[in-house]
Amino acid sequence: MKEIVVAISRKELKALGACAESLVLYEEVKKLAGRGNRPLRLVWSPLSYVWFAKKHPSFCGWAIERGLLTQWSLTGANLNGADLYGANLARADLSYAYLSYAYLSGADLTGADLTGAKLLGADLTGALLSGALLSYANLSGADLLGAYYPYGSLPAGWRRGEDGRLVNE
């Protein structure tokens, strides 16, 4: 499995404009890691990316946008049945990923590449899908109620409401 080690200092976070909540999280993680006054060192892998996107979606998105952390490709990843409720997977490469019966309710998948993804029976209620690429994705039995998908081809059985959210036909 691919992974990298990332060193992050409090000074670096402050210089990038981290919010108070993020600084508290940083200190908690640093304490758990036994780093004392030294910068936090993280083993950053696709698995840690998915965990962080789920557990701390706002901070994860912020850290990736500022280049502090790498957004891993999750092409072909097996995330069947994963609980990704509210995860920040904006612009994630989930092409050909296995997401059958995954719980993606409220997840931010804005601009995500879901080309060829297997989303059979997945719960995407209230997910943000604006700009997501869904070509060849298998959405059989997926629940898309209230998902925000303002443009693009619609899966069978779904229509777009006036607000861009999907509703059953």
pLDDT category at 1 given cuts 50, 70, 90 is: low
Percent of the chain residues past pLDDT 90, beyond the cut = 85
The answer to whether the CB of 106 falls within 8 A of the CB of 85 is yes
Beta bridge partners of 138: 118
State whether 9 and 84 are in the same domain.
no
pLDDT tens-digit series, residues 38-91: 999 988 999 999 999 999 999 999 999 999 998 999 999 999 999 999 999 999
Pair of tokens at residue 99: 């997401």
21, pLDDT greater than 70: yes
Write down the mean pLDDT value for the chain: 94
State whether 85 and 35 are in the same domain.
no
pLDDT tens-digit series, residues 102-122: 999 999 999 999 999 999 999
The answer to whether the CB of 53 falls within 8 A of the CB of 88 is yes
State whether 45 and 116 are in the same domain.
no
Identify the pLDDT of residue 94: 98
CA atoms of 96 and 144, how far apart (whole Å): 19
Question: What's the DSSP call for residue 152?
Answer: S
Identify the pLDDT of residue 131: 96
State whether 79 and 116 are in the same domain.
yes
Identify the pLDDT of residue 150: 93
State whether 56 and 122 are in the same domain.
no
Residue 58 CB neighbour total at 10 angstroms: 13
Structural domain harbouring 91: 73-169
pLDDT category at 156 given cuts 50, 70, 90 is: confident
Residue 107 CB neighbour total at 10 angstroms: 29
Identify the pLDDT of residue 129: 97
State whether 101 and 55 are in the same domain.
no
CA atoms of 5 and 15, how far apart (whole Å): 21
State whether 84 and 166 are in the same domain.
yes
pLDDT category at 15 given cuts 50, 70, 90 is: very high
Mean pLDDT over 88-96 rounds to 97
Q: Phi then psi for 64, rounded to 5 degrees?
A: -70, -45
Percent of the chain residues past pLDDT 70, beyond the cut = 99
